[in-house]
Amino acid sequence: MEFNRKNFSNYFMIATIVFVVIWFNALYFKNRISSNHQSISEYNLSDEDIAPASSLATAAFFYPAESYQTDNDNDGYIEHKSLYTKHKPLVVIEPHYGYRRSSAVAAASYDYLRGFAQKLKNIILVGPLHQNIKGAVLPKVGSITTPLGEVQINRNIIGELQKNPLFDKNQPYPVKNSINMQLPFIANTFDKVKIVPILYGDIKIEKLVDVVSQYVSPKNLIIIVADLPAYFPLNKDEVVNGKHAKCQEVGIKTAMALARKYGLVPKLLNVESQANYKGVSFKQRGWSYKEPTEKPVLYGVELSYHNLQNFVRHHQKELLDIVKKGLSSGIDKRYKVKRKYYNDFLFNRGASLINIYRDKKLLASTGDVAATKAIAADISDNIFHALNSLSKKDLRNIAALKVSLQLLTDMEEIKFSTYEDLMEKIEYGVDGLVIRSGEREGFLPPDAWLDVKDKAEFLTKLKIKAGLSPTYWSDTTKVFRFRTVEVRDDKN
């Protein structure tokens, strides 16, 4: 068959055009749509969680000895060369000082472990209980929830371990414990891996080694939770003879015993005095955990509102920076929010309302209650739309405009049986409301209460906003509540 050069050129040109179109669309949607699964209403960090700290944290890996190329076969445990990108460790010592102190070091190790995510089936987590009990304890639940996802527990291995008298079946497994710091990293790094959390109290090291030894394999990873600086001097030449802190003794000696038993060679991965490891700032935050059986204090929109308040307080400057740059971009060019300039949390899904004023007179208002994209992109888009709705006269001096930014919680449906029941459940002066009936929908934010005298008038105004008759009502009508948090400039 004769080669047709003309057809080849045509096919090549078509393929090039298709590739360019796909590429530009990918760039467009990357900035427009949040790749984060979380909503800003799920943000649950406290002020204490993100406070800076200066305590040291260290991570160390133990590899099979044959994976090293050494100058001398008898160099021992410290002097060796290794290629991090090729060798999966069998045992890892991870810090447990807490996120404020240790997150950067932990992030460095999990960034490396990500390369072996598909090869692992189980992670055996071993950490101190910090309680004066004999033996060790295991969880009774099938999973543990973290803000970065749910971590599944291997109930089969837990069943095997419970047959060992070393584990106290009557001792409750505490939600707050030394291994919690590892869980969000595991959830974020591994898709299918299951964990086996072991918390130990007063225990003989050789017994713990016996338990853990049966799970040392290429498909498993043993994570010993302990703080090396509390146990070893930072001078690597003194590591083997260093004095230990009691809290860390069992874990680190267990790791060393496993290393001797299986011919493993340790490598000091990272030591940090502050949580400043480049590229992992979003992982340097504190998290909270809950077992499926634990009941939180707050529910529904109340919990979302609490979380959103923390979100706004912690990211106030970045949120206002987006507003400022959106105004600077003006009506001709939308400000494109780039991930590298902002905290990763600003790319969680969220919804915003933008009001533009001049001399306290409202000129424009835009926004929606649906959280369909990254909150950073949503704010930028709303600024752009609000500016483009202004008259030429109002646009003469953009710098003189005042912008009010409000972030919205997720919506919560109000369950009611009658109109009177609904009126009873609406919280006067607090709830923002959304009404849906057929294809009609409308919403009013909480600050709309300032212009009405009671609940009936608010609901009437809401129905009119949705294009419904003031007297309209139907059994299929649905009403949702939400709250807003204003992002204020401290200078004003």
Residue by residue, pLDDT tens for the chain (492 residues) are: 454 555 666 666 777 777 766 765 655 555 444 457 889 998 876 654 444 333 344 455 555 544 433 333 333 323 333 334 466 788 888 876 555 556 667 777 787 788 888 888 999 999 888 677 788 888 888 888 776 777 888 999 998 998 998 888 777 777 667 787 788 888 888 888 999 999 888 888 899 999 999 999 889 999 988 866 544 444 443 333 334 455 577 888 888 888 888 887 777 766 654 434 344 333 333 344 444 444 446 788 998 998 999 899 889 999 999 999 999 998 888 899 988 888 888 999 999 999 999 888 999 999 999 999 999 999 999 999 999 999 888 888 888 889 999 999 999 999 999 999 999 999 999 999 999 999 999 999 999 999 899 999 999 999 999 999 999 988 899 999 999 999 988 654
3-state secondary structure of 101: helix
Identify the CATH number of the domain in which residue 453 sits.
Answer: 3.30.1490.150
126 and 234, same domain (yes or no): yes
Host H or E run for residue 160: helix 155-162
321 and 439, same domain (yes or no): no
Number of domains composing the chain? 3
136 and 68, same domain (yes or no): yes
347 and 392, same domain (yes or no): yes
- Are 382 and 367 in contact by the 8 Å Cβ rule? The answer is yes
- Are 232 and 239 in contact by the 8 Å Cβ rule? The answer is yes
417 and 402, same domain (yes or no): no
Structural domain for 450, as ranges: 412-487
Q: Is residue 22 part of a domain?
A: no
Other CB atoms within a 10 A radius of the CB of residue 302 amount to: 14
User: What is the Cα–Cα distance from 71 to 33, expressed in whole angstroms?
Assistant: 52
CA angle 227, 233, 234 (to 5 degrees): 85
In 3D space, the residue among 80, 12, 38, 2 whose CA is nearest the CA of residue 371 turns out to be 38
Identify the CATH number of the domain in which residue 266 sits.
Answer: 3.40.830
404 and 416, same domain (yes or no): no
**End-to-end CA distance of the chain, in Å?**
77
